Structure 1
Amino acid sequence: MQLWAAGDLREIATLEGYTGTLKPAAFSPDGQRILTVGEREPARLWNAEGRLLALLDAEAERTYSATFSQDGQRIATSHCTSLGDNDICSSGYARLWDDDGQPVTLFAQGAGVRWVSFGPGNAMVSAECAELANSRCVTDMVRVWDPAGQLLAVLEGRRFLNPLRHVEFDASGARILAYSATEAALWTGAGELLVKLDAPTNHLWTVRFSPDGQLVIVTSSGPDPGRFNLYKTQVRLWDKDGRFLADLPARHEGYVKATAMTADHGLLLTAGLDGLVQIWDTSSAAGTLSGQLTGHSGFCSLPATARMAAGWRLWPMTVCVYGMRIETCSPIWKHGPPRYTLHASVGRATCWPRWPVMC
């Protein structure tokens, strides 16, 4: 994994120690700390110059997530301590750390914690296995924790039959969102179930809040009955109270695995495996297609700081919107490590300059 200065695209350091697939790197809010996690390797904490500060629970069988709190003073990680058949986690925990990577407390000990996210005031929400049967998790649950790692609530009204992929607070802490490959649900911050977010297709790819927390964006796909062996992609919008707003007529061939939205939720970007980035005007409830960026074959994460971090393999695919500037990064596969080309666009322009870089 390499660390780059975003201004002059100068390589700062190589973040060593990983040999396999990497999950997206996370920057602290002040940009002075970096968290990295391998698909099968432990989380590491680095400073902004690429010096290793701490190895976070290297003895765990698997690290699922690592994230900074909103004030940057805490880190939360989720781990598996015992893997069974088919890589099913039968026991695990979450841990709270200070910003130097020193352990603070252990919490959420049980059958396996797949994700931990921070909310306002450093409250935490976790996605966990609720019930094991025949060495596999048969239901998942969501729990809420205070900043010290003490249990506040178990979110009732919805148990997930497939492993949870993600759980998060909205920007205000008034809503909680969780989803698996087939189900999504929205709760109040107090733990009251508002709605199950239905998708008529059979696989959910991303479910996220808009930056201001007013919208929920759901992307899904399923077989297209009108075209043999092809899939239909859907992008749906809901409001923060679980009311359905719009079904955007996405024109992607194949599924959408990334979305990004401006802070005022006036523009929405959808990125598909077909290499297209579609730009939607979502200032009205209906949503209309206003532009399209072509020529991509995938996207990597470009954090909104003065530094960029990227690895040999990057997932999930993401795009980022900084104000009215759109930035994406797509792999160009050659012999040896993949090379990438950075694309940028201002406003709603459908053409953009290119700088060949290793990002």
Structure 2
Amino acid sequence: MAISIGLVIMIGLTIVAENARRYAVEQRHLAIKSEIDALNALAWADLSTHNQLGALFASVKATKHLKQSGIFTAKFVSAEDQATLNNTHENLKEVMLNINEVNCIHQAHNDTVQAIDFSPDGQQIVSIGSDGKVKIWQRNGSLLHSFDNLGGRGRDVNFSRQGKLFATILANGTIHLWDITQGRLIRSWQHIGDGMTLHFTPAGDRLISGGADRKIRIWNLQGQLLDTLEGHQAAISEITVSSNEQWLASASFDNTVKIWRLADGQLLQTLKGHEDRVYSVDFNSENNRLATASADNTAKLWRFTDNQWQLETTLTAHTNWVYTVHFNPGGKTVATAGADNTVRLWNHDGILLKTFYNDPLARAGIKDVAFDPRGEMIATANVDKTIRFYNLEGSLIEILQGHLSGLKDVTFSPNGELIASVSHDKSYPLKLWRSDGSLLRNVESAVGLRSVEFSPDSQFFVASGYDGQIYLWRSNGELERHWQAHEFTVKKVTFSPEGSLLVSTSSDETIKLWTMQGQLVATLTGHEEGVNDIAFSPNGEFLASASADKTVKLWRRDSTLINTLSGHEDWVNSVTFSPDGRYLISASSDHTVKLWAVADGQLVKTFQGHEDWVWQAAMSPDGKKIASVSSDGTVKLWNVETGQLLSSLTEHEGWVRALSFSPNGKRLATAGADRTIILWDLESVEQFRPASSDMELDAHFVKGCQWLKNYLNANSEPFISPEDKKLCD
């Protein structure tokens, strides 16, 4: 009996112990999950406020905790754990798709970082701050040298093009000449008056300074004064010299820029146009353009033509003073930055290409911007004491900006060299872009355009008009011809595969075939409402049409109706053939994408996941993916074979109307209501598909850590704790 009682007690104690153990494990699991959820919330908040490195840090940390939580190794995953897993991956994917900031040195100086410059080989950076310190950094953000107690507040820094020397100027007018190879001061002398700016001549044998005394002084490197230029009515804020040493340009608080002949100091021209202080000036590498930045919230581009500098365009996106402007080494891109805490990149035609946002919680202001010599990176000197680095190459997305209203269509040329887009813009609704995202040409049209398509040889492009006409252009932008095709809006027009015919659709419920000369070949009728889209099969034998009558119709080229595909519950907005011609892909306002067999018209698969109208869907050139765009603001990628959603991309703001795969299938162009075209690097996007194994989660973690490496090494407490510095070990 005693043994039985003892056994009962033992069993009871064992049960209690096991329950306690399970409770402890459960509580630990809940604690880890809570921390992961908190990190995910922080990452999303940081991403929403453009704190890119903060968002990546939180996402990588959440991923590490997720790996340690054992969710992937559990036999059963609860709905709550699955949600945490999905959120963690989605945050990391979103950050990696959007991130450009590769490093931030949080406490670079003890006060405002006034100026920054890359060495000619791009391996070192010199900064100067209001704290009176000059610092030399490695490209990865590691500090090499710090020169303290220079006797005044720092103003400007500049490298000689030969790379051995750099110079600094203090607010008290002291000029220092430094040898970077030895990390030592060579000599000092006085500008005579408060100093603001200095610049080496391209040959590196002279140094030019300017300041509050309104004078420009030219020195040899021994500190001997060679010449003094006078003419400004207020402080001189920046000086630059053309690469051919023909001109010296000076920016001033008197609202002007002056152009001087460097050889003899003669004033050649005064540029007027800014309405407030001019802070910055820079020549492009070809010496035929000049950029200026001002406290009137604008930057201006000037062009040398007819033997004088003339205003070409005004850049107006900034919302506060523009402190700095610089051309990239190739002279095709302009960077501006200022008190609104943004860096903006423009092409030399004045089209805004990209905007980088500093952390909005930081004190407002970017004082200087520098391109590295290869044009792969920019560094910023900031009021919040930081130096930030932004990557210009290898981004997962490229954003094309220039349209003034929502886009209707976008397409790659078959040779992959051009992109065409149409929008609601009144003057230039059609734009041609190079494949690198730079604007090639604005195409003028007096009427609104709805769609655009290239000919198979890429020598022509055709657009459909809201006025019922078809417009045919040569690829150089020359209008070849136009003709009245339909009574109402032409919804779509496209070429036959061999390029001898055009086919158009309209709100008038008809489909029409045309010669390239605009002669009507045939009219196809049968739809009961407007026809939204049309596509030729790859072999040119068939046509497929999509209609507001909720059907897709398959036709022979001779106008014979073969089949009517029913199954959608709302308008069918687009239809296209698979690359091998065996399938049709349709997109509908019923929120779905459908895959149909051409041979018998049977429905093969329905792709569900969009939450609003699906405007367009297409299969990738390799036949493995389908991309779709929707009014729900997303771009979705699907696995054709399994129907699985691969990625949901949310970088557009508002509905997404059109898409086009590049001929090689490596990129996807999407266009929408936010007036932008986004070029997606699909190989990179695919790397961030939802992780389905511990191995894939490890791969995502490694990619995030590779990006964070320099950031973790360059910072310490209170910004990065000793424990967090080991985050990726």
TM-score range, shorter chain: 0.5 to 0.7
Q: 1:77 to 1:297 in 2, by over 3 A?
A: same
Q: Distance in 1 between matches of 2:503 and 2:514?
A: 6
Aligned match of 1:55: 442
Q: Which of 561, 566, 570 is the matching residue for 1:244? A: 561
Q: What amino acid sits opposite 1:96 in the alignment?
A: R
Q: Distance in 1 between matches of 2:417 and 2:613?
A: 24
Aligned match of 2:536: 209
Aligned match of 1:319: 618
Is contact 1:211-1:265 (8 Å) kept? yes
Q: Distance in 1 between matches of 2:559 and 2:515?
A: 10
Q: Distance in 1 between matches of 2:463 and 2:606?
A: 37
1:163-192 CA-to-partner distances (Å, cap 9, x unmatched) read 433333311245542322221234678988
Q: Secondary structure at the match of 1:353?
A: strand
Q: Which of 495, 498, 509 is the matching residue for 1:169? A: 495
Q: 1:19 to 1:247 in 2, by over 3 A?
A: same
1:234 counterpart = 2:551: yes
Q: 1:178 to 1:345 in 2, by over 3 A?
A: same
Is contact 2:594-2:605 (8 Å) kept? yes
Q: Which of 645, 650, 663 is the matching residue for 1:352? A: 645
Q: Distance in 2 between matches of 1:17 and 1:190?
A: 32
Is contact 2:503-2:513 (8 Å) kept? yes
Aligned match of 2:604: 290
Is contact 1:258-1:271 (8 Å) kept? yes
Aligned pairs for 1:1-359 (under 5 A) are 10-12=396-398, 14-41=399-426, 42=428, 43-57=430-444, 60-62=445-447, 64=449, 67-72=453-458, 74-76=459-461, 95-98=473-476, 105-108=478-481, 113=482, 128-129=483-484, 141=485, 160-173=486-499, 175-181=501-507, 182-186=509-513, 195-222=522-549, 233-248=550-565, 250-282=566-598, 284=599, 286-297=600-611, 317-331=616-630, 333=632, 338=633, 340-347=634-641, 349-358=642-651
Q: Which has more radius of gyration? A: 2
Q: Secondary structure at the match of 2:645?
A: coil
Q: 1:88 to 1:243 in 2, by over 3 A?
A: closer
Q: Secondary structure at the match of 2:424?
A: coil
Q: Distance in 2 between matches of 1:243 and 1:332?
A: 34
Q: 1:36 to 1:163 in 2, by over 3 A?
A: closer
Is contact 1:2-1:11 (8 Å) kept? no
- Taking structure 2 as the reference length, the TM-score comes to 0.31
Q: 1:66 to 1:320 in 2, by over 3 A?
A: same
Q: What is the deviation of 1:270? A: 1.4
RMSD: 3.7
Q: Percent identity?
A: 21
Q: 1:257 to 1:46 in 2, by over 3 A?
A: same
Q: 1:75 to 1:294 in 2, by over 3 A?
A: same
Structure 1: which 5+ runs fail to align?
Answer: 81-86, 114-127, 130-140, 142-159, 223-232, 301-315
Q: Distance in 1 between matches of 2:456 and 2:624?
A: 23
Q: What amino acid sits opposite 1:293 in the alignment?
A: F
Is contact 2:447-2:467 (8 Å) kept? no
Q: Distance in 2 between matches of 1:49 and 1:106?
A: 25
Q: 1:293 to 1:194 in 2, by over 3 A?
A: same
Q: What is the deviation of 1:266? A: 1.1
Q: 1:261 to 1:204 in 2, by over 3 A?
A: same
1:56-75 CA-to-partner distances (Å, cap 9, x unmatched) read 33xx4345365544333x35
Is contact 2:532-2:572 (8 Å) kept? yes
- Taking structure 1 as the reference length, the TM-score comes to 0.60
Q: Which has the higher strand share?
A: 1
Q: Secondary structure at the match of 2:487?
A: coil
Q: What amino acid sits opposite 2:425 in the alignment?
A: R
Q: 1:187 to 1:29 in 2, by over 3 A?
A: closer
After alignment, is 272-281 or 47-56 more displaced? 47-56
Q: 1:40 to 1:246 in 2, by over 3 A?
A: same
